[in-house]
Amino acid sequence: MKKFVFLIIVVVFFNLVHSYSQPISPLGKFTSKDRILICAPHPDDEVLGCGGIIQQAIAQKSKVYVVFLTNGDHNWLEFKIFERKLILHPYNYIQIGEQRRKESINAEKILGVPEKNLIFLGYPDAGTMLIWQHYWNVKKPYYDFLTKVNYVPYPQALSYGSPYAGESIVSDFVKVLKIVKPTKIFITNPVDTNSDHRAISNFLLVSLLEMKNQIHPDVYFYLVHYYKWPFAWPKPRRFAPDDTLYPPEVLLKTGHWVSSFFTPQQVQNQASALMCFHSEMIGNKGFILSFARKNEVFEKMHIPLVGKEGNTFLKTRICYFNISQNSKSVIFNITFQQPVKDIYNLKMYLFGYNKKVSFSTMPKIQVEVNIHKVKSVRNGNIYIPADIIKYVKNPYGNKITLIVPKYLLGNPQYLFVGGESRLGELLIDSFPEKLFKLSSF
């Protein structure tokens, strides 16, 4: 038994060393002509993922701006401990958001970003993925059960009073892109396990498609939350300024990663900036300070082109997707990696983008399937006959094919594909929205 365990450890170590031996390109230098936009889901994410390159860009005379999707107002447990309050009222959650806003202002002073370059949007913490999935062109905006509001409640926000709806967030990001005109954008990775960290990427990508003919920035993804056996990321969970940060092994194999290294003083400045987040430090100090390293890593954005051959894959713990298309349909070949039961359900979100149609009114298709059939199809909250999507099952029982007509998706030029898998009501896995470009016929 001991020999077996030792063998597993050796294999894991070999795989890690082998994967990390793959070359990671340097990010490259900033210039005085660069305009850098850092996109943060919550106050503190900008320092966790980009505290080093913010300083590096400013040192090269680049202009740096930071936009915050939320004010982090659901940080209730740490706030209770920090303020020594057992019961919080709705206005206390607004206070949390205001406190975290001030903490980011203080942190950015250390890094060199002036307060006038910080843009707060004020959308609901822990609610933006639900807005992405369900709140487009609706009469009733998303309602935050803690703050008890359905609109941006912060007077300092870019669009104070805007409803909690998808089109509001896209509109704000378009405003930010017009103000900043970024040459480089840094934003949380869509594979991040925090829902707001995934949602912000979706909203930004829609906004970039809206601005496609006006700006052409390079986009880089930074990672904050990621857990996969055998290690949580990053390791070690402590202040380790002399350690090199590597991407998680599984992500390193599939993406184009770049890295940038910093001076000891810049690393120390990042750590000092992180210490400004007093409300976040309770119980999280080791995790937060583990990001102050000698380098930072980023995945460069790539939008895959889907053609007839179907050589683009999405992969989950249970199955993987081959996506292809013809002139009339988008085709999903779904292969299960292990036998699945009838109670296993797969929900897919298919959101198309067409330049000629407002994204808020484009179909927001949700498809629920199991190994035997298409169970339901919805456009938003409206159910559609399930047989609108053709279902084919192969004789071996481990593969199904879904043929989705393009007119159902709004005849898109781009397509967001995401979803989740469940056993009954138990969530097994969620896979982040990935943006694909559909080739023309």
Q: Which CATH architecture has domain 23-300?
A: 3-Layer(aba) Sandwich (3.40)
Q: Domain residue spans in the chain? A: 23-300, 305-438
pLDDT at 228: 66
Residue 11's pLDDT is 36
Q: Look at the block and give the residue holding tokens 């740096």.
A: 64
Quick: pLDDT tens for 243-293.
Answer: 999 999 888 888 899 999 999 999 999 999 999 998 888 878 999 999 999
Instruction: Kindly state the tokens that stand for 276.
Output: 């400004």
What's the rounded Cα separation, in Å, for the pair 131 and 150? 11
Q: Rounded mean pLDDT of the chain?
A: 90
Q: pLDDT (tens digit, 9 = 90+) per residue, 292-302? A: 999 999 999 99
pLDDT tens-digit profile of 76-134?
566 555 555 666 788 888 999 999 999 999 999 999 999 999 999 999 999 999 999 99
- How far, in Å, CA of 99 to CA of 313, rounded? 42
Report the pLDDT value the prediction gives residue 425, as an integer from 0 to 100: 80
Residue segments in the chain with a per-residue pLDDT below the cut of 70: 1-23, 76-87, 228-231, 311-312, 395, 397
Supply the pLDDT for residue 204: 98
For domain 305-438, give the CATH number: 2.60.40.10
378 close to 369: Cβ distance less than 8 angstroms:
no
Which amino acid belongs to residue 265? Q
